[in-house]
Amino acid sequence: MGKIKIMFCSFPDYSSNAKPLYEYMKKRYSNKIEMVWAVSCKEMQEKLQQKEIVSYVVGTEEYFEFCKDVDVFFTTHANIVGEKNDKALYIELWHGLGPKQSGFLSEHVLENDRKWYSKISNKIDYLILPSNFWRVIFSTILNFEYSKTISLGYPKLDYFKNKDAKENLQKVIKRDVSSYDKIIYYMPTFRKGCSRESEESKFNLNNAINIYEYSDDELNNFLKKNNYLLCLKKHPSEELGSSFEDRDNIVTIHEKDLSDNMITINEILDASDLMITDYSSLGVEYLFLKKPVVYINTDEEEYKNNRGIIFNNLDFWMPGYRANNIEDLKNGIIGSLSDNYKYKDEMELKKKLWFSNLENGGCENICKFLFNDDGSIKEELLVKEQTDSYTDRLEKENTKLKNTIDEKNAVIAKREKRIKELDDFIAQLINSKGWRFLEKMRSIKEIFKSKK
């Protein structure tokens, strides 16, 4: 038996949960497994080639040809479910954990969302998550069998605790960060979900932080006084719509600078001491580092109405200071970085709920679940993969019944057509001159019989 073939895919390319799992498996299995990446463009393919990483550009002939023989797909956005072949396992690693309603865990499911989530839930074999709490959430989001959600890990957590985080940050922002006492990140969510037709809430792109009474000068002076550096990072899908000129103590992290250095957001998180965000998954994930978060909720009601919050309870999701104006923000930063941080115990409880006992990304757990030591797929998973799911069996039975009904309807249609033809023939016969002549002769015959 030859090497099994594995394809990784993420958004952005070579990032999220797929990248650390790939790197772990490369070390663990060495040359026992053939691993490739699916990427969005030729430029990224060339960058990976320089690192001696095999990759194919999605949509190319060589990409489709390789997909035919893939044994295991690992993706972060169910990006390439359409390429799953009959023998392959499709493992979804997902990309974000947070309070936003999505999929079938929404008050009003958009038709495009309904179609997309239904499509991917039928293709995914297993969804890997960091705790049982998320198993409940995502089995609802995807309308997915609970048994197909597995609490094993969240690979990008391996990057969260990163001894090279500050060095990575310096490469990206091209600034010495060692001279600052504290480093603060502002990383908000994006305002458009899967197939969403309109923005989820208004967002001031000219405001470095989406708060009331905002002032670049006032914020920069506050940071300068305390010797803090604030790093702004918008979501990749929205970065092009915003503009901000860097200041002495405020700098922008650009997606291109991350990509050029082959560094992901997760590999610079540990360089910071505090996160400022809103409804982003980072508000949840950052707590793995046991570091505080300040939450911005200037558009809370609008966001709840347009997108929705799971449990409709922001307090559950936000164990930290809340800020809607410049004064609250400054006070939240000071309070969060003080020795007597008042949300410490609540933060610890949420970390336990959201990440169970994980001390890392759980790549070892994932590999032990899926593979043997020699890199082959566990036999029981192959059997399970070859056995039709309950949904598949229902679909096949429905198809069989439909075919039977169609055959019966065809027979009935033929009989009805024949009956109509006979009815038309008899009607024509009855109305013909010959029939009327015969009827007259029968009448005369009856008269002669009666006179005898």
* In contact, 322 and 328? CB cutoff 8 Å: yes
- Please state which CATH number belongs to domain 160-355: 3.40.50.12580
- Please state which CATH number belongs to domain 4-156+364-387: 3.40.50.11820
User: What residue spans define the domains of the chain?
Assistant: 4-156+364-387, 160-355, 395-451
* In contact, 91 and 74? CB cutoff 8 Å: yes
Across the range 130-137, mean pLDDT stands at 98
- How far apart, in whole angstroms, are the C-alpha atoms of residue 126 and residue 120? 11
Q: Is 62 helix (H, G, I), strand (E, B) or coil?
A: helix
Specify the pLDDT at position 253: 94
Per residue in 307-349, pLDDT (tens digit) is 899 999 999 999 999 999 999 999 999 999 999 999 999 999 9
pLDDT-derived band at 192 (thresholds 50, 70, 90) equals low
Q: How many CB atoms are closer than 10 A to CB 85?
A: 12
Specify the pLDDT at position 309: 94
* Most trustworthy range by pLDDT among 173-187, 235-249, 409-423: 173-187
Across the range 201-229, mean pLDDT stands at 83
Q: Is the pLDDT of residue 303 over 70?
A: yes
Q: What is the mean pLDDT of the chain?
A: 88
Pairing mode, if any, of strands 33-39 and 55-57?
parallel
* In contact, 21 and 155? CB cutoff 8 Å: yes
* In contact, 323 and 294? CB cutoff 8 Å: yes
417's enclosing H/E stretch is helix 390-430
Q: Is the pLDDT of residue 97 over 90?
A: yes
Asked whether the domain spanning 160-355 has the same topology as the one spanning 4-156+364-387, the reply is yes
- How far apart, in whole angstroms, are the C-alpha atoms of residue 231 and residue 183? 8
Per residue in 365-381, pLDDT (tens digit) is 999 999 999 999 999 99
Across the range 387-413, mean pLDDT stands at 69
Specify the pLDDT at position 398: 75
pLDDT-derived band at 195 (thresholds 50, 70, 90) equals very low
Torsion region of 227: left, alpha or beta (phi above 0 gives left; psi -120 to 50 gives alpha) = left
pTM here is 0.80
Specify the pLDDT at position 415: 73
pLDDT-derived band at 234 (thresholds 50, 70, 90) equals confident
Per residue in 24-55, pLDDT (tens digit) is 999 999 889 999 999 999 999 999 999 999 99
Q: Is the pLDDT of residue 129 over 70?
A: yes
Across the range 405-410, mean pLDDT stands at 76
Which of the two residues, 272 and 445, has the higher pLDDT score? 272
pLDDT-derived band at 237 (thresholds 50, 70, 90) equals low
- What angle, rounded to 10 degrees, do the helices at 363-370 and 18-29 form? 60
Out of 79-93, 270-284, 424-438, pick the least confident. 424-438
